[in-house]
Amino acid sequence: MTLHSIPTGNFKLDGGAMFGVVPKSIWNRSNPADENNMCSWAMRCLLIETNNRLILIDNGIGDKQDAKFFSYYYLHGDHSLEKSLKNSGFSPDDITDVFLTHLHFDHCGGSVKYANTEKSKLELSFKNATYWSNAKHWEWATHPNPREKASFIKENIMPIQESGQLKFIDQKTTLIPEMEIIFVDGHTESMMLPLIQYKGKKILFLADLVPSLGHLPIPYVMGYDVRPLETLKEKTLLLDKAAKEDWLLFFEHDSVNECCTVEQTDKGVRKKDLFTLSAYFGA
Ligand SMILES: [Zn+2]
């Protein structure tokens, strides 16, 4: 098995919204804001290559929405999903499985694309892939609450359902033996975090549980989370385990840091070492 980091580009979100109750005087040190109070975030996906499967975990923001939509998010950087797949030696048609941690637009927007230049028809970006979500989250995303409604965009979601290529995972099933799935409910209903066994280590894909290194302290929870007190419990449980068992933590949204290990300190769980996957495993 080989893991490939797949950067799909950066965007900006309001720093205050990203850090919830934490004051700017504190979060601005780890995540400096621009003149509009926006901070830069990565959309870093992960590709799992096995003998017969090519599993893409999340796929970034995509390119379907209009200029007004993208004007809110200040896309920047040189990376794109297609370019990163190509750099790893693959094309979209090679992907056998698309695993969606959750259906917020910055995680699943690359799932679906326009089929023609007139932008009148949508199709799956990965035509040979099975798309994986879970029943509870699908129901939640397709009947959204008013708070999350703007994050669940119909054109990212409905074509997957209509394609017949959608499958649901439950607590007992997984895609490959090396991947365990952890369900968390604080950020949104039934977000799925892959915990991957790789070269003798465990790697946790953090998605929006801990979006960046600056979010490691337990109370540093995003304002977007629907159940922040659940997030506190889920972070405590998983970060304690990560420190005890020396897991590698993979950040989807940190625009500078790709991975870290953590350790217990008298302040709580904090970073130990910072590195990229390829540097760590010498690929
Ligand atoms: Zn999210």
List pLDDT tens digits, range 101-121. Answer: 999 999 999 999 999 989 999
Q: 172: pLDDT confidence band, cut at 50, 70 and 90?
A: confident
282 CA from centroid of ligand 1 (Å): 31
CA atoms within 13 A on the CB side of 249: 34
78 CA from centroid of ligand 1 (Å): 23
Q: Which two tokens stand for residue 152?
A: 């669940």
Residue 69 · residue 30 · CB < 8 Å:
no
156 CA from centroid of ligand 1 (Å): 14
Residue whose C-alpha is closest to residue 55's, from 26, 23, 88, 78: 88
Q: What b/e sequence results for 216-246 when a residue is b if at least 16 CB atoms lie within 10 Å of its CB, and e otherwise? A: bbeebbbebbebbeebbebbeebbebbbeee
Q: What is the spatial distance between Cα 107 and Cα 124, in angstroms, rounded to a whole number? A: 15
Q: What is the pLDDT of residue 2?
A: 97
106 CA from centroid of ligand 1 (Å): 7
Average pLDDT (181-189) is: 98
Q: 282: pLDDT confidence band, cut at 50, 70 and 90?
A: confident
pLDDT digits (tens, 9 = 90+) for 206-260: 999 999 999 999 999 999 999 999 999 999 999 999 999 999 999 999 999 999 9
Residues sharing a CB contact under 8 Å with residue 208, sequence separation 6 or more, in sequence order: 101, 102, 104, 107, 187, 188, 191, 222, 224, 225, 252, 253
Q: Name the DSSP class of 151.
A: G
pLDDT digits (tens, 9 = 90+) for 194-221: 999 999 999 999 999 999 999 999 999 9
pLDDT digits (tens, 9 = 90+) for 126-142: 999 999 999 999 999 99
51 CA from centroid of ligand 1 (Å): 31
104 CA from centroid of ligand 1 (Å): 5
Q: What is the pLDDT of residue 171?
A: 79
Average pLDDT (35-56) is: 97
224 CA from centroid of ligand 1 (Å): 8
- Please give the mean pLDDT across all residues of the chain: 97
Q: What is the pLDDT of residue 22?
A: 97
Give the environment of ion ligand 1: residues with CB less than 5 A: 104, 208
Grouping H, G, I as helix, E, B as strand and the rest as coil, residue 138 is: helix
114 CA from centroid of ligand 1 (Å): 23
State yes or no: pLDDT of 170 exceeds 90.
no
Residue 149's φ and ψ, nearest 5 degrees, are: -50, -45
Percent of the chain at pLDDT above 70?
100
Residue 106 · residue 156 · CB < 8 Å:
no
Q: What is the pTM of this model?
A: 0.97
Residue whose C-alpha is closest to residue 228's, from 240, 219, 239: 219
Give the alpha-carbon dihedral of 47, 50, 52, 53, to 10 degrees.
-30
For residue 193, the surrounding DSSP H or E stretch is strand 191-198
113 CA from centroid of ligand 1 (Å): 20
CA dihedral (17, 19, 21, 27) positive or negative = negative
149 CA from centroid of ligand 1 (Å): 12
93 CA from centroid of ligand 1 (Å): 26
Q: 283: pLDDT confidence band, cut at 50, 70 and 90?
A: low
Q: What is the spatial distance between Cα 247 and Cα 202, in angstroms, rounded to a whole number? A: 5
Q: What is the pLDDT of residue 130?
A: 98
